[in-house]
Amino acid sequence: MLGSVLIALLGGAAVGMSRSINGRLAMDRGAFQASFFNHAIGFLLLSLYVIAFHRVGLPLLGQTPAWALTGGLIGAVFVAISSYVFPRIGAARSGLLIIGGQMITGLMIDYFRGTAGFHVGQPAGVALILFGIYLTRFSR
């Protein structure tokens, strides 16, 4: 369990660093070009990794339901949006808003799928994140 928590924290740090780097690139080249380069390089590296270590071919793609591919579309939209907002509102606010959006969406998914019971601490946690975003207004 602790290993998974540490890996998740490392993933969060990687997202924060990636968004900051893409935000800087977006300032120079624009949000869509930054998103393009992010995805092109990511595609290349992941393709080489999968080909080298997993021997997965195109037939597997044909067995994948179409709805499962929407994650890539949503990911591309996320990268473009965050590349746009990071240089405009800063890393801390962007990160908090992204986490707030993830928390709200996660709660809604769990609620509608019936996979997790509702606890008052869940919306309270989201409220604390949103309050943290509000407090960053006074950091100047």
pTM, two decimal places: 0.69
Residue-wise pLDDT tens digits, 44-70:
998 888 888 876 666 677 788 888 888
Q: Where are the domains of the chain?
A: 2-138
Residue 81 scores a pLDDT above 80? yes
Burial class of residue 118 (count of CB atoms within 10 Å of its CB; 0-12, 13-18, 19+): exposed
Residue-wise pLDDT tens digits, 3-47:
888 888 898 888 888 888 888 888 889 888 988 988 899 889 988
Residue 111 scores a pLDDT above 80? yes
